[in-house]
Amino acid sequence: ALNRLLGTLGRRMLVLSEVIPMIGDGVPVLVQRALEATGGVPGDYDEILQRYHAIYGSAVADLTTIYPGVEETLSALHGAGHRMGICTNKPEAATHAVLKALNLARYFTAVAGGDSLPVRKPDAGHLLGTLEMLGGATPDRAIMIGDSHNDIQVAINAHVRSIAVSYGYRRHPVEELGADIVVDNFADIPGALARLNGMG
């Protein structure tokens, strides 16, 4: 969607290695960074941002794939009675659309997008708001699972334990994120949860 937007503006396309450091702070920041990298932010930025939303909305899950082990692990966690929510800087409507397209929506009780609350990751209020949507889960009983600096930082800020996966899009090495546990495979999440719950 980002390159389609840039094409409508007559800008050069970005390669994945350029886009990865731009991801994680929400759509407005992503679009701004892409514009800055390809010639600057024009005065009609708000209109360009709306154009991006339209392009993205028309192809929300086109290039999205599920990592190995994710669906089976979500099914097992859901079956074991774990309440799961999503705390993302992606817009809420787009998040719901991706979950529906990938047939994963049934696993999640709550979705708090970057536009769902007055704040977003890494502000603690975003994760605390997600916990509230989960029926008032408390930080001491919650565990944040993520792949980025913002995911782990929001957990730290909200005093929630965290698990980082070693793959995904991030600007910092996973070892520097400050997660309580790092896993290499999503299928390792249940074991990591058990270890964290044993830690207190």
pLDDT tens digits, residue range 139-181? 999 999 999 999 999 999 999 999 999 987 777 889 999 999 9
pLDDT, residue 133, reads: 97
81 in the same domain as 176: yes
Please give the backbone phi and psi of residue 190, each rounded to the nearest 5 degrees, phi first. -55, -40
Rounded distance between C-alpha atoms, residue 108 and residue 85, angstroms:
5
pLDDT in tens, 11-51: 999 998 899 889 878 889 999 999 999 999 998 999 999 99
For residues 173 and 17, what is the distance between their CA atoms, to the nearest angstrom?
A: 15
Domain ranges, residue 146: 70-199
Distance of CA 27 to the CA centre of its chain: 11
Say yes or no: 163 and 89 in one domain. yes
At residue 107, the pLDDT reads 98
66 Cβ partners below 8 Å, 6+ apart? 102, 104
Question: Of 38, 58, 78, which closes a domain?
Answer: 58
Interval 175-191 mean pLDDT: 95
Is 37 a domain residue? Answer: yes
Domain end, chosen from 32, 58, 84, is at: 58
User: Are residues 122 and 172 part of one domain?
Assistant: yes
**Using CA atoms, how far apart are residues 87 and 116, in angstroms rounded to an integer?**
10
Both structure tokens of 140: 């001491």
How is residue 50 written in tokens? 């709306």
- Mark whether 167 and 136 lie in a shared domain: yes
In this predicted structure, the answer to whether residue 199 has a pLDDT above a threshold of 70 is no
Q: Which of 58, 88, 103 delimits the end of a domain?
A: 58
Read off the CATH number of the domain in which 130 is found: 3.40.50.1000
Confidence check: pLDDT of 200 > 50: no
| Whether 26 and 77 share a structural domain | no
CA distance 121 to 73: 24
* Domains in the chain, number: 2
The verdict on residue 63 lying in a domain is: no
